[in-house]
């Protein structure tokens, strides 16, 4: 593909060499929620809750002497800080890259970049403006784990933070009833792929017409739900809402790094604002928001700052779930070293 004059070639992941398999037996990648088995997903959520419950106290440093690279081509407050702080708390050292720092900008292929970085880094945490293809190219080696910190289609580490928050609050994910209101963006697609794995969970998506969940992601979530006994539904209006949700979730209307072609998009989104009226039929629901928030657009200030909001607790849990992801990515290599 070509981006800002940069030519990037993507290829199928290469078969790991014998050297890779012996020296680096299990560097695991997290590029999509669908890269995880059900057991992996449950482990990551449980570990996120455990890190939260540890309340930042000292303990083992499973990433001692490891190096984590942080590459963000787009802005980030929570995710970048979460992975940076989490890596440091696990004992790792950091190297950070801005959008103009890598030779990708001069035409180096993604495969070559990944091959080089993999000989110096243990984990690469990356946020890009494109699809998953570039990250898959970086992951075509066995040495270095690659973590998707948000791509155009999916934000898997956000979903892990969401599930960590819900599990910590309710003590379970099975049977929870979640109302998601707003654009069917990358946070929504990741949430749908993750929550649909849990028996009895219900995800009600209310998205503006023309701004729904990508059909491919919706189909994958529905397939998970059919297998697990969960429910995923999407409508493009706010009429006839079910009652007694456990959580009500929204995201900013202008997804990071994107713009809407329709100059009148605000009018389409207006009926989907989260206000206190939604709590009339779900009085015990908590409020979630992946932040940043725009008060008066997707959510009123009364909701964001009110007694039901756990949005800033959810933001803190990004660090705890980031620690769980880093531990999971490197668990096999750490175990092989006898640590």
pLDDT digits (tens, 9 = 90+) for 271-285: 999 999 999 999 999
Residue 142 lies in a domain: yes
The Cα–Cα gap between 174 and 231 comes to 11
Residue 298 lies in a domain: yes
Check whether residue 35 and residue 75 sit in a common domain: yes
pLDDT digits (tens, 9 = 90+) for 98-137: 888 988 888 898 899 999 999 999 999 999 878 899 999 9
Check whether residue 148 and residue 279 sit in a common domain: no
- The count of domains in the chain is 2
56 pLDDT band (50/70/90 cuts)? low
Check whether residue 86 and residue 207 sit in a common domain: no
18 pLDDT band (50/70/90 cuts)? very low
pLDDT digits (tens, 9 = 90+) for 150-195: 999 999 999 999 999 999 999 999 999 999 999 999 999 999 999 9
142 pLDDT band (50/70/90 cuts)? confident
Check whether residue 255 and residue 172 sit in a common domain: yes
Query: Does pLDDT of 2 surpass 50?
Result: no
Residue 256 confidence (pLDDT): 61
Query: Does pLDDT of 60 surpass 80?
Result: no
Tell me the torsion sign for CA atoms 181, 183, 186, 192.
positive
Check whether residue 300 and residue 162 sit in a common domain: yes
Residue 62's Cβ-count burial label (10 Å; 0-12, 13-18, 19+) is: middle
pLDDT digits (tens, 9 = 90+) for 65-93: 999 999 998 899 999 999 999 999 999 99
Check whether residue 311 and residue 323 sit in a common domain: no
Check whether residue 311 and residue 324 sit in a common domain: no
333 pLDDT band (50/70/90 cuts)? low
Check whether residue 140 and residue 161 sit in a common domain: no
Query: Does pLDDT of 58 surpass 90?
Result: no
Check whether residue 280 and residue 329 sit in a common domain: no
| Mean pLDDT for the chain overall | 89
pLDDT digits (tens, 9 = 90+) for 25-43: 467 999 999 999 999 999 9
The Cα–Cα gap between 128 and 40 comes to 24
Picking from 37-46, 188-197, 252-261, which range would have the lowest pLDDT averaged per residue? 252-261
Residue 295 lies in a domain: yes
We report the CATH number of the domain holding residue 63 as 3.40.50.1370
325 pLDDT band (50/70/90 cuts)? very high
CB 42 within 8 A of CB 201: no
The Cα–Cα gap between 1 and 8 comes to 6
Pairing of strands 177-181, 202-206: parallel
Check whether residue 184 and residue 290 sit in a common domain: yes
Query: Does pLDDT of 197 surpass 80?
Result: yes
Picking from 18-22, 78-82, 129-133, 333-337, which range would have the lowest pLDDT averaged per residue? 18-22
Check whether residue 171 and residue 85 sit in a common domain: no
CB 10 within 8 A of CB 135: no
Residue 167 lies in a domain: yes
Can you give the three-state secondary structure of 42-90, one letter per residue? HHHHHHHHHHHHCCCCCCCCCCCCCEEEEEECCCCCHHHHHHHHHHHHC
Max Cα–Cα distance, the chain, nearest Å: 61
Residue 257 confidence (pLDDT): 59
Full residue range of the structural domain in which residue 94 is found: 2-154+318-334
Residue 339 lies in a domain: no
Residue 339 confidence (pLDDT): 47
Check whether residue 307 and residue 169 sit in a common domain: yes
């Amino acid at each position: 593909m070509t981006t800002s004059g940069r030519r990037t070639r993507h290829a199928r992941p290469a078969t790991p060499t014998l050297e890779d398999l012996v020296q680096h037996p299990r560097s695991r990648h997290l590029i999509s929620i669908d890269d995880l088995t059900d057991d992996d997903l449950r482990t990551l959520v449980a570990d996120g809750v455990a890190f939260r419950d540890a309340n930042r106290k000292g303990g083992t440093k499973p990433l001692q002497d490891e190096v984590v690279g942080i590459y963000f081509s787009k802005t980030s407050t929570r995710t970048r800080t979460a992975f940076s702080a989490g890596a440091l708390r696990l004992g790792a050292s950091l190297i950070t890259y801005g959008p103009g720092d890598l030779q990708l900008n001069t035409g180096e292929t993604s495969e070559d970049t990944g091959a080089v970085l993999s000989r110096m880094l243990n984990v690469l945490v990356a946020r890009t403006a494109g699809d998953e293809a570039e990250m898959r190219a970086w992951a075509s080696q066995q040495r270095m784990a690659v973590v998707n910190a948000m791509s155009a289609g999916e934000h898997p580490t956000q979903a892990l933070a969401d599930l960590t928050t819900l599990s910590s609050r309710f003590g379970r994910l099975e049977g929870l009833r979640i109302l998601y209101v707003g654009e069917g963006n990358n946070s929504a697609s990741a949430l749908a792929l993750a929550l649909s794995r849990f028996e009895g969970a219900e995800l009600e998506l209310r998205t503006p017409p023309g701004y729904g969940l990508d059909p491919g992601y919706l189909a994958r979530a529905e397939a998970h739900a059919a297998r697990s006994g969960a429910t995923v539904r999407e409508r493009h209006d706010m009429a006839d809402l079910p009652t007694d949700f456990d959580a009500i979730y929204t995201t900013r209307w202008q997804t990071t790094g994107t713009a809407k072609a329709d100059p009148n998009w605000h009018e389409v989104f207006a009926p989907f604002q989260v206000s206190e009226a939604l709590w009339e039929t779900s009085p015990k629901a908590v409020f979630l928001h992946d932040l940043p928030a725009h008060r008066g657009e997707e959510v009123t200030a009364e909701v964001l700052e009110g007694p039901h909001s756990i949005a800033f607790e959810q933001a803190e849990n990004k660090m705890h779930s980031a620690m769980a992801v880093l531990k999971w990515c490197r668990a096999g290599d750490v175990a092989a070293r006898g640590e």
